[in-house]
Structure 1
């Protein structure tokens, strides 16, 4: 089987501040719109490759600001979700989508089992194993982990505007989400539970795989991406989310 990534592509994952003192580990599955060097453009033009179907605009920038404020650790993916969406298991069609919102993705159409396996091994396996190893190393060192995944969403989806500004998502463990939503009551941003997506949409894979299975406090944050399109918006949002996390964690039993 041919290698999907070349030496020039580098690692599919990256870690910022691996020895941070905070219990919070931020995870950004859709941090980048980069494509591997030998994959071309998947048959897409610049508009699609720069849009939300390729990555979560602003999510990494906000995460990096939160790392500084919290002394948290950040684990993130370095390639586009169009190659492999690391918030989906290998068997999910959405892991390598042939269609995303209004865009057909020619380079993902009719992938063979061998092609899907190559992408899984090159992109998803290092992500899953790397995050699992990070959590296990923290546990071995006696350092608690609170898992928070970071995403952004488009303000207009299939032609329909979205008024929600921040989503706090959870699966079957709502402890952290409940606490953060309580802290968000009356806040400046319209902050809602399991919007604009929820477990029924298949977006909680990372929370299940690395949070629920390890008994960790966990939540997923979704930010409307027009709010974090520049430095000012990213700073304001990072401040807001750091506040929600701090207040939420402080309200939970130790």
Structure 2
């Protein structure tokens, strides 16, 4: 079911297990399709508000299961990405899109600079602060952090079927993505691909660059096809399969980093 807060809430972000002892920090920028009442539904009908355009169905459920298994903090958005996409910088048109695939977003078509600034201040900045504060607190405790962001994507986009089931995405730093992809043989039944269905040229690696690369953290973005996430059995299976990739990849990277420090 769609996730979200009540219309009276101004909270834009939740932090789950903030003191997790594992090495991973999880982000789920598009965890909710909630549109606060002050935005009057953005002029969307119920179908559009429930669609993949408004959020990443199933992503939060998978991220929660990863958080429990990895004892990882999870920073998750509580506001629809159609209000503000927290995986985009304020200057990007796609941060508050007037159109998402085939869905027109009337409430975003004629935003004034002041209206855009209000969304940046009440949705994007709190999300950024939650991520940076979580990582900083871990650093103060002497904990290493590895950044993993969790997303889902629609199986049909602009009428084209997508065959990829699990996308492993990266920007300039491909170390963790490379390590995960090297473990893909463990899931021979899955169609796993690099930088598909999206890649850096699509503007989807903002969080990786802002919190991962800029902070010197290993980082990767995971995209899951959302027709695999329609129920608890599906999200549970994908979470376990991701752990099959993540665990060995982290161990491999730790070993390589250790060898480099000894050189």
Shorter-chain TM-score bucket reads over 0.9
Give the equivalent residue in structure 2 for 1:65: 65
Give the stretch that moved more between structures: 145-154 or 177-186: 177-186
Matched position secondary structure for 1:53: coil
Aligned-residue Cα RMSD (Å) equals 1.4
Give the equivalent residue in structure 1 for 2:195: 194
Give the equivalent residue in structure 2 for 1:247: 248
**Following TM superposition, where does structure 1 have runs of at least 4 consecutive aligned residues deviating by more than 6 angstroms?**
none
Aligned residue-pair number: 250
Give the equivalent residue in structure 2 for 1:153: 153
Give the equivalent residue in structure 2 for 1:119: 119
Cα distance change, pair 166–36 in 1 and its aligned pair in 2 (3 A): same
Give the equivalent residue in structure 2 for 1:171: 171
Alpha-carbon offset, residue 185 of structure 1: 2.6
Q: TM-score, normalised by structure 2?
A: 0.93
Cα distance change, pair 98–246 in 1 and its aligned pair in 2 (3 A): same
**Structure 1, unaligned runs of 5 or more:** none
Q: TM-score, normalised by structure 1?
A: 0.96
Alpha-carbon offset, residue 140 of structure 1: 1.3
Kindly indicate whether the alpha-carbon contact (under 8 Å) linking 2:26 and 2:147 is maintained by their aligned counterparts in 1: yes
**Structure 2, unaligned runs of 5 or more:** 259-263
Give the equivalent residue in structure 2 for 1:98: 98
Give the equivalent residue in structure 1 for 2:231: 230
Give the equivalent residue in structure 1 for 2:183: 183
Give the equivalent residue in structure 1 for 2:25: 25
Matched position secondary structure for 1:82: coil
Question: Cα deviation per residue 1:86-124 (whole Å; 9 max; x = unaligned)?
Answer: 000000000000000001100000111111000000000
Indicate yes or no: 2:84 matched with 1:84.
yes
